Structure 1
Amino acid sequence: MNFRPQNRDEPELNLIPMIDVLIVLMIFLVMTTTFSRETGLELRLPKAQAVPQEEVPKGVDVAVDAEGRFAVNGTPLQDNRLEALREAMKAAAGGQQDPLVIVRADRATQHQHVITVLEAAGQLGFGHIGFAAEAAPEGKP
């Protein structure tokens, strides 16, 4: 019987193939991951400083209430279609080529109704558009 230890080669742990596999896995994960960022707007609407009525030039005043009814220069429209609004704005402008259009929209008005006013003004070639706002109380920004 031979009880002497035999010289055996110790097994080597080859790390290079394992590192290669890990690098391939890491590249795969980076390439297939989608980075979606949920966007949200944090809006603080500004308060408007009051402008004296004498400084506001005369033009076309379009009011829109919360239900989406239009009034041009204080005259309510019976028809709330784009064509009727465009004709009323053209008549209110008189012969002016590019009058100031002041949009007075209720705070509960849907955005689509304001866009309708802007679209009618754009079709008529009116480029000077302003939005009326409520005056900020004194001492509050």
Structure 2
Amino acid sequence: MAWMGFRHRPSLFSIRSKPEPDISLIALIDLLLVVLMFVLVTSTLSKWSQLGLNLASSRAGTEIARTGLRVAVLRDGSIRIGDTQALSGLDAGALVKAFIEARQTLNAKNDVNATVDPSKPDHIKQSEAAMRAKAPSMMIYADRLAPHGAVVRVMDAARQAGIERVGLVTQKD
């Protein structure tokens, strides 16, 4: 009808201005933090669960804090120290050297993360220090079918590297 000289009248729908969508930045940041925490937790758990270790079972084991250096002895006899790749064919000297380096790295990381809380009473500080002293400085995750000699070799290399407290991780029956 524009050719007849009539002007197009705006309808009610075209007059109203549409509100522009806005994104709440606070909600977005909260969501991103939750996703980040989920990824961090699952990535640290999945590293050791992907090894496919079939741990030995025990009824007499005690629950302790799993701190310190973590070493896995896999089914084929290869050894994994901390988050490194599986190492196979290491002689005793190389294994001792690897343990010393891993322990120094772990100690440096713990020194950075350690904070002194002056608000804590002395008896709490002493009990926390005693708990850390009782905790093994190396936890061995040995597969049930791992060669016995490989586990003994890891324990012997740990002693030679100066690691005095060694624990074997088992699963409850």
Task: Name the TM-score class by shorter chain.
Answer: 0.5 to 0.7
Alignment of 1:130 with 2:167, yes or no, is: yes
Asked if 1 retains the 8 angstrom alpha-carbon contact of 2:67 and 2:139, the reply is no
Aligned-pair Cα RMSD in Å: 2.6
List structure 1 runs of 4+ shifted beyond 4 angstroms: none
* Partners of 1:120 and 1:107 in 2: CA distance: 20
Partner of 2:142: 105
Cα separation, partners in 2 of 1:77 and 1:84, compared to 1, 3 Å: farther
Q: Kindly, what percent of the aligned residue pairs are identical?
A: 26
Listed as ranges, the matches of 1:1-141 within 5 Å are: 46-47=58-59, 51=63, 56=65, 58-81=67-90, 82-94=92-104, 96=107, 100-136=137-173
Q: CA deviation at 1:57?
A: 5.0
Show structure 2 runs of 5+ residues with no match.
Answer: 1-56, 108-132
Asked if 2 retains the 8 angstrom alpha-carbon contact of 1:50 and 1:135, the reply is no
Q: CA deviation at 1:78?
A: 3.6
Q: CA deviation at 1:90?
A: 0.9
Show structure 1 runs of 5+ residues with no match.
Answer: 1-44, 137-141
TM norm structure 1: 0.53
Cα separation, partners in 2 of 1:78 and 1:104, compared to 1, 3 Å: closer
TM norm structure 2: 0.44
Letter in 1 for 2:95: L
* Partners of 1:106 and 1:57 in 2: CA distance: 17
SS at match of 2:80: strand
Superposed CA deviations along residues 95-127 of structure 1, whole A, max 9, x for unmatched, are 75x971111100001110011101101111211
SS at match of 1:84: helix
Aligned length: 88
- Which structure has the larger Rg over C-alpha atoms? 1
* Partners of 2:66 and 2:144 in 1: CA distance: 24
SS at match of 1:76: coil
Q: CA deviation at 1:83?
A: 2.4
